[in-house]
């Protein structure tokens, strides 16, 4: 063992070997030295642990490739693309909505060139960044006016600061939600300088409860979509029409934090709990807030839509500047919204909607294709199994979507070890472990990712 350790050369010696030295064509001298140090460190550890038979040929292709592999990994960006095989369509930890090609193109155009972000091409004078998406949002939701900010959390904060600071906001006890990342509605209301007035009970709140709570200090009746949990059983909450009537009678603003916010009816795809923005506004809600990167399927953004007089007030709020949307997100949002208009079919063009509306037989076919590709590579231990996919992103917690997955078992690898190997590949693949097997859900994977997935699995199987 000690003699083997002594045969491991010094880094300076290795750097004089032509094959190793040629790595400095593409990488700096210090990067190559660092990669060599790591490679030799692992080698020494393996020898000491008795896990190493022969030492490698330090002047050979295999050693060079191992060092080059380390160098390539060092150069990889920290934030990078992965394959989402979790079956959760809007996975917050994996970046939520995938963007449509049209949205990516818009970001490319606006990012690579100057743009009319705040310049009016008609008049040649200063313009507003908030004008670009407004008409589209109004057209798609029936709103009088709209304002786009950084995300839905910012939209809620701005909405409250612009209407209720120093006054009272009435909320049902059944809707005092925490969205995640410690964004809790009661705290947000407090931060906006308003006072929370809770009404009703966790499971039941009536219009009467809101009415009884209203006094001279009340400014807003706030509804929040209980998007990430569900209270079932003996429950009721007032109709929006009734709350709208109440708000109107007392000259209050009825506001609703929708979270996901869908622009088209998704009930035909089994998603019955997400109300359509247009219907909510038609029911008399004055102001709605929703996300750009949940079921809308666009970039991170927060959309405020509703009454023009209220939105005019928000537009001149000093905090708006701190919450504003950036030009790349705005470009992607506008392009995504255009996909909701004729002649496009958003269910085909917006990736989030395409994934959740894809017929399950097509998902099954994709799973079959991956298993066949693996079979051609000589990988056994992959099979097609039925699975449940979810919308995610805090939406529809109890509604699962029929799906199919590829269940994987590779000889000599535990499910945890296989999941880790998939995560650590050149193109990381994130699956889930179900009943002791790694499952790759095919509802959240696209056809053009199958080749990478098969290659990664083949690579792990051949180690």
Interface with ligand PLP, residue 227, by CB under 6 A: yes
Q: Should residue 224 be labelled a site residue for ligand PLP when binding is judged by CB under 6 A?
A: yes
Among 197, 225, 240, 443, binds ligand PLP (CB under 6 A): 225
Q: Which of 179, 255, 422, 454 binds ligand PLP (CB under 6 A)?
A: 179
- Among positions 260-279, residues that touch ligand PLP (CB under 6 A) are 260
| In the complex, minimum distance from the CB of residue 305 to ligand PLP, in angstroms, rounded to a whole number | 14
Which residues lie below 8 Å from residue 45, measured CB to CB, with a gap of 6+? none
* 148 touches ligand PLP (CB under 6 A): no
The dihedral built from the CA positions of residue 151, 153, 156 and 157, taken in this order, carries a sign that is negative
Nearest approach, Cβ of 55 to ligand PLP (angstroms)?
Answer: 53
Nearest-approach distance from CB 185 to ligand PLP, in angstroms: 8
DSSP-derived secondary structure for 108-135: HHHHHS---TTB-TTTSSB--TTHHHHH
Q: How many residues bind ligand PLP (CB under 6 A)?
A: 13
Phi, psi of 45, rounded to the nearest 5 degrees: -60, -40
Nearer to ligand PLP by Cβ, of 153 and 438: the residue is 153
Q: Which is nearer to ligand PLP, 253 or 255 (CB)?
A: 255
Taking Cα atoms as reference points, which of 298, 328, 284, 333 lies closest to residue 147? 333
Across 292-451, the runs of DSSP E, i.e. the strands, are: 302-306, 382-392, 395-408, 429-430, 432-434, 437-441
By beta carbon distance, the residue nearest ligand PLP is: 259
What is the distance between the alpha carbons of residues 12 and 58, in angstroms, rounded to a whole number?
A: 13
CB 293 within 8 A of CB 301: yes
Asked if 394 interacts with ligand PLP (CB under 6 A), we say yes
153 contributes a contact to ligand PLP by CB under 6 A: yes
Report the Cα–Cα distance between both ends of the chain, in Å, rounded. Answer: 25
Stretch that binds ligand PLP, among 69-77, 219-227, 374-382, 416-424 (CB under 6 A): 219-227
Closer CB to ligand PLP, 163 or 227, in the complex = 227
Binding flag, residue 237, ligand PLP (CB under 6 A): no
Say whether residue 291 binds ligand PLP (CB under 6 A). yes
E-only strand ranges, 41-94? 83-84, 88-90
- What minimum distance in Å lies between the beta carbon of 93 and ligand PLP? 12
Q: Which residue has the tokens 């600061």?
A: 161
Contact 383, 406 (CB under 8 A): yes
151 binds ligand PLP (CB under 6 A): yes
Q: Which of 83, 88, 140, 152 binds ligand PLP (CB under 6 A)?
A: 152
Other C-beta atoms within 10 Å of 263: how many?
A: 21
Report the interface residues with ligand PLP, using CB under 6 A. 151-153, 179, 224-225, 227, 257, 259-260, 291, 302, 394
């Amino acid at each position: 063992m000690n003699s083997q350790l002594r045969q491991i050369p010094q880094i300076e010696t290795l750097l004089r070997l032509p094959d190793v030295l040629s790595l400095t064509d593409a990488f700096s001298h210090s990067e190559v030295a660092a990669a060599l140090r790591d490679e030799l460190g692992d080698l020494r550890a393996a020898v000491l642990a008795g896990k190493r038979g022969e030492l490698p040929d330090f002047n050979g292709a295999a050693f060079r490739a191992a060092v080059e592999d380390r160098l390539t990994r060092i150069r990889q960006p920290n934030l990078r693309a992965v394959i989402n095989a979790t079956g959760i369509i809007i996975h917050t930890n994996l970046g939520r909505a995938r963007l449509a090609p049209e949205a990516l193109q818009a970001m490319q155009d606006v990012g690579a060139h100057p743009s009319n972000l705040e310049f009016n091409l008609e008049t040649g004078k200063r313009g507003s960044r908030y004008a670009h998406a407004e008409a589209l949002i109004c057209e798609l939701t029936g709103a009088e006016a709209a304002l786009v900010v950084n995300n839905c959390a910012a939209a809620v904060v701005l909405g409250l600061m612009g209407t209720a600071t120093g006054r009272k906001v009435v909320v049902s006890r059944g809707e005092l939600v925490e969205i995640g990342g410690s964004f809790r509605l009661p705290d947000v209301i407090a931060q906006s300088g308003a006072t929370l007035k809770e009404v009703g009970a966790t499971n039941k709140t009536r219009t009467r409860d809101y009415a009884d709570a209203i006094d001279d200090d009340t400014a807003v009746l706030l509804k929040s979509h209980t998007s990430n949990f569900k209270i079932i059983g003996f429950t009721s909450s007032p109709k929006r029409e009734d709350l709208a009537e109440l708000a109107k009678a007392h000259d209050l603003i009825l506001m609703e934090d929708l979270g996901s916010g869908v622009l088209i009816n998704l009930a035909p795809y089994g998603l019955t709990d997400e109300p359509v923005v247009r219907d909510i506004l038609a029911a008399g809600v004055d102001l709605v807030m929703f996300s750009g990167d949940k079921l809308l399927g666009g970039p991170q953004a927060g959309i405020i839509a509703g009454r023009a007089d209220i939105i005019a007030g928000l537009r001149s709020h000093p905090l708006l500047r701190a919450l504003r949307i950036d030009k790349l997100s705005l470009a992607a949002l506008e392009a995504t919204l255009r996909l909701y208009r004729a002649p496009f079919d958003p269910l085909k063009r917006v990736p989030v909607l395409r994934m959740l509306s894809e017929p399950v037989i097509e998902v099954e076919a994709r799973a079959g294709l991956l298993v066949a590709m693996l079979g051609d590579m000589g990988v056994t231990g992959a099979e097609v199994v039925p699975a449940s996919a979810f919308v995610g992103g805090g939406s529809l917690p109890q509604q699962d979507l029929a799906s199919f997955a590829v269940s994987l078992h590779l000889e000599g690898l535990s499910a945890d070890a296989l999941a880790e190997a998939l995560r650590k590949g050149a193109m990381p693949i994130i699956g889930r472990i179900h009943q002791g097997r790694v499952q790759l859900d095919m509802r959240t994977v696209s056809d053009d990712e199958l080749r990478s997935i098969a290659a990664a699995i083949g690579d792990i199987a051949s180690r």
